[in-house]
């Protein structure tokens, strides 16, 4: 969950590294560092904290260098633990993303051989291992390859030697992309790091290494050179900028209408352009995901069972990895925004080993998930920089609606009516965005609380879960989502005037039960905010505040309610003075288990 950068070319490498790291801070921001090779020496600058405000940074303008922005796993955030890490002589520098699971035994062996370590990190064993191989007469690139063979865990790392004009990088279970410019080359954890300079990329696969100089690059696997095509990234640098918004999160919430439109344009023409062979012969579906994507899966379960009558299970990917699922004609669907979520990838690998068919739903072309899966459906959200997922969640839901409609057993007329309603969702989201000031005003009342509950029934329950997650992620208010009917089985003990409740009220078969639950909540003196249909004339009799959303088919309410709750969470966090785009302790892409 760190951001790594490497550069070889004609520009000042320190300036490129700083620019690239600013675009990777969503991957980690508790410390950072840059190293350049110049005149046969390595010069390093490391610091604790965010890199975004650094100005006039220079290490002297070498043309080859590394950069790193950190999300701590081994060792607290400190200058010593920040990357890049060096060998004993300060001649080899390494930046790394991932976890080296056997670092303790490697470190003990190296210390016995006379190596001195400075940090608490697992990463530091890498430059020392490279050094040990170089001292045995190995070429620098070969030394890096042999080092990789000794490592266990997950890693993408880039190494640089003071008197060598090459960068050498290796990838295994952590993302790494090669950017191809004109007379310059880039290595990075993610595409936004290099979009300022190039949109031509090569996606590296697990077990591949790359040797890069200003004259070109070679990709190897098991010591054998492999040819890989260059792909064009369909995003611009403007897509990765704030565009005048105060925060990336707010910009990305406002991009929700376009995201739905783009996804519908991609897959919805005269028919739903999703390959029906993906679903041929299956007996059931198993969703595996983490975080926000898990909530999308819960909604997907509701949609598919409601529209297609196919049994669906949803499991946290991190828990699926410890289970022993029965073999059947199960389609396993892994949903991951980045395509690099470690737990989800492991769940997909396990499913493949068990002989199950695997479908990936992801936002990133060329990501690991796309290469693991038998089938891939891309969401069309564009780059999402804010750590809290907003538009990628809406894109995932849009794809799930199309899948459910594609495999539905409902009459064609009913499916067409649903699709026509789905086509109207972008305009309805725009109406919600036009209510921004009203939602902001409501949020002022609740920014001072430290605990909140979100409740719903049926399809409203996963909406509540996602709303609570957004609030806790960015405002640091303790928020929990519950099925409304479960409150009386324990959580009622927490209700009272200091615990507001957000009720997601859908005008479907759950409506009357939800009203009954709200009456019970009000009897415990908890303030209640309702998210409700604009045509609901009854709800204001029972609640204190109402966020009204445009009327739509009840089954489509996750697309509208979720946007309203994203705005609510954003404005609560803003009023509390929180770091919205980079919430504490979190990173955008969770690439370690």
What's the domain count of the chain? 3
Q: What are phi and psi for residue 121, nearest 5 degrees?
A: -80, 160
On whether the CB atoms of residues 369 and 339 are closer than 8 A, the answer is: yes
Confidence of residue 53 (pLDDT cuts 50, 70, 90): low
Q: What is the mean pLDDT of residues 174-188?
A: 93
pLDDT reported for residue 386: 87
Q: How far apart are CA 240 and CA 354, in angstroms?
A: 39
Instruction: Please give the model's pTM, rounded to 2 decimal places.
Output: 0.72
156 and 257 assigned to the same domain: no
CA dist 282 to 177, 286, 323, 358, 536, Å?
35, 11, 21, 11, 40
574 and 478 assigned to the same domain: yes
Instruction: Kindly state the tokens that stand for 587.
Output: 């990173």
Whichever domain contains 164, its CATH number is 3.60.20.10
Give the rounded percent of residues in the chain with a pLDDT score beyond 90.
67
**Counting runs of H as helices and runs of E as strands, what totals does the chain give?**
17, 25
Closest CA to 473 of 591, 578, 391, 365: 578
> Is 592 a domain residue?
no
193 and 252 assigned to the same domain: no
266 and 122 assigned to the same domain: no
Q: Would you tell me how many other CB atoms lie within 10 Å of the CB of residue 279?
A: 19
CA dist 567 to 65, 380, 451, 562, Å?
40, 21, 18, 9
Which residue's structure tokens are 């070429």? 139
On whether the CB atoms of residues 396 and 296 are closer than 8 A, the answer is: yes
Indicate which residue of 2, 290, 297, 578 is catalytic.
2
pLDDT reported for residue 84: 94
Closest CA to 564 of 581, 549, 542, 579: 549
On whether the CB atoms of residues 558 and 398 are closer than 8 A, the answer is: no
Domain with 105, as residue range(s), is 3-237
- Residue finishing a domain among 380, 399, 423: 423
- Residue finishing a domain among 222, 237, 252: 237
Lowest mean pLDDT among 125-134, 333-342, 378-387: 378-387
Q: How far apart are CA 559 and CA 471, in angstroms?
A: 17
- Residue finishing a domain among 200, 219, 237: 237
> Is 335 a domain residue?
yes
Q: Which helix (H) or strand (E) holds 546?
A: strand 545-549
289-329 pLDDT, tens digit per residue, is: 999 999 999 999 999 999 999 999 999 999 997 887 766 78
Whichever domain contains 496, its CATH number is 3.40.50.10490
> Is 590 a domain residue?
no
Instruction: Kindly state the tokens that stand for 82.
Output: 């920040």
Whether 297 is catalytic: no
279 and 199 assigned to the same domain: no
Q: Would you tell me how many other CB atoms lie within 10 Å of the CB of residue 76?
A: 11
| SS3 of 409-443 | CCCHHHHHHHHHHHHCHHHHHHHHHHCHHHHHHHH
Indicate which residue of 391, 406, 472, 588 is catalytic.
588
Lowest mean pLDDT among 1-5, 22-26, 71-75: 71-75
Q: How far apart are CA 237 and CA 223, in angstroms?
A: 35
525-568 pLDDT, tens digit per residue, is: 899 999 999 999 889 899 999 999 999 999 999 999 999 999 99
> Is 586 a domain residue?
no
231 and 304 assigned to the same domain: no
208-222 pLDDT, tens digit per residue, is: 999 999 999 999 999
Q: What is the mean pLDDT of residues 420-444?
A: 96
> Is 357 a domain residue?
yes
pLDDT of 440 > 90? The answer is yes
255 and 325 assigned to the same domain: yes
412 and 436 assigned to the same domain: no
Angle (nearest 5°) at CA 386 between 19 and 99: 75
The partner residues of 65 in beta bridges, in order of sequence, read: 7, 36
Instruction: Kindly state the tokens that stand for 193.
Output: 């790091």
225 and 332 assigned to the same domain: no
Whether 588 is catalytic: yes
Q: How far apart are CA 25 and CA 326, in angstroms?
A: 41
Q: ω before 396 within 30° of 0 (cis)?
A: no
């Amino acid at each position: 969950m760190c951001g790594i950068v490497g550069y070889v070319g004609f520009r000042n490498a320190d300036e490129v590294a700083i620019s690239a790291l600013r675009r990777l801070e969503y991957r980690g921001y508790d410390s950072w560092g840059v190293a350049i090779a110049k005149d046969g020496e390595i010069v390093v600058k490391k610091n604790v904290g965010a890199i975004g405000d650094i100005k006039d940074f220079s290490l002297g303008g070498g043309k080859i260098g590394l950069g790193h922005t950190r999300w701590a796993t081994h060792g607290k955030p400190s200058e010593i633990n920040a990357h890049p890490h060096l060998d004993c002589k300060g001649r080899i520098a390494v930046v790394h993303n991932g976890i080296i699971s056997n670092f303790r035994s490697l470190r003990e062996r190296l210390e016995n051989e006379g190596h001195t370590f400075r940090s608490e990190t697992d990463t530091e064993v890498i430059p020392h291992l490279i050094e040990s191989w170089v001292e045995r007469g190995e070429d620098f690139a070969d030394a890096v390859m042999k080092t990789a063979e000794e490592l266990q865990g997950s890693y993408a790392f880039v190494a640089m030697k003071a008197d060598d004009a090459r960068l050498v990088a290796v990838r295994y279970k952590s993302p790494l992309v090669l950017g191809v410019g004109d007379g310059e080359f880039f290595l990075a954890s993610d595409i936004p790091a290099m979009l300022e300079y190039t949109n031509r990329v090569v996606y590296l696969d697990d077990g591949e290494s790359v040797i890069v100089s200003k004259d070109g690059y070679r990709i190897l696997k098991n010591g054998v050179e492999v040819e890989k095509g260059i792909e064009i990234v369909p995003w611009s640098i403007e897509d990765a900028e704030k565009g005048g918004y105060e925060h990336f999160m707010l910009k990305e919430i406002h991009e929700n209408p376009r995201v739905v439109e783009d996804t519908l344009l991609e897959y919805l023409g005269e028919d739903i352009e999703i390959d029906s062979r993906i679903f041929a012969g299956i007996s059931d579906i198993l969703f595996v995901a983490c975080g926000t994507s898990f909530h999308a899966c819960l909604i997907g379960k509701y949609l598919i069972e409601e529209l297609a009558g196919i049994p669906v299970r949803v499991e946290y990917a991190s828990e699926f990895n410890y289970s022993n699922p029965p073999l059947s004609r199960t389609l396993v669907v892994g949903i991951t925004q980045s395509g690099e979520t470690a737990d989800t990838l492991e769940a997909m690998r396990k499913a493949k080993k068990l002989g199950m068919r695997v479908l990936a739903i992801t936002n990133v072309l060329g990501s690991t998930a796309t290469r693991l899966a038998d089938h891939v459906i891309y969401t069309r959200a564009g780059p999402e920089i804010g750590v809290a997922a907003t538009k990628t969640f809406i894109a995932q839901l849009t794809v799930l609606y199309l899948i459910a409609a594609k495999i539905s057993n409902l009459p064609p007329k009913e499916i067409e009516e649903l699709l026509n309603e789905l086509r109207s969702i972008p305009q309805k989201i725009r109406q919600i965005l036009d209510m921004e000031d009203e939602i902001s005003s409501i949020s002022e009342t609740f920014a001072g609380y430290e605990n909140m509950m979100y409740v719903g029934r049926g399809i409203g329950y996963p909406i509540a879960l996602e709303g609570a997650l957004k609030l806790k992620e960015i405002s640091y208010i303790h928020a929990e989502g519950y099925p409304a009917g479960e409150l009386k089985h324990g959580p009622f003990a927490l209700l009272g005037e200091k615990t507001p409740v957000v009720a997601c009220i859908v005008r479907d078969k759950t409506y009357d039960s939800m009203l009954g639950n709200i009456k019970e909540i009000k009897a415990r003196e908890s303030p209640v905010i309702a998210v409700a249909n604009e045509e609901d004339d009854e709800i204001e009799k029972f609640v204190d505040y109402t966020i009204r959303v445009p009327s739509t088919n009840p089954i489509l309410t996750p697309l509208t309610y979720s946007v309203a709750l994203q705005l609510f969470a954003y404005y609560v966090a803003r009023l509390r003075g929180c770091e919205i785009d980079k919430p504490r302790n979190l990173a955008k892409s969770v690439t370690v288990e």
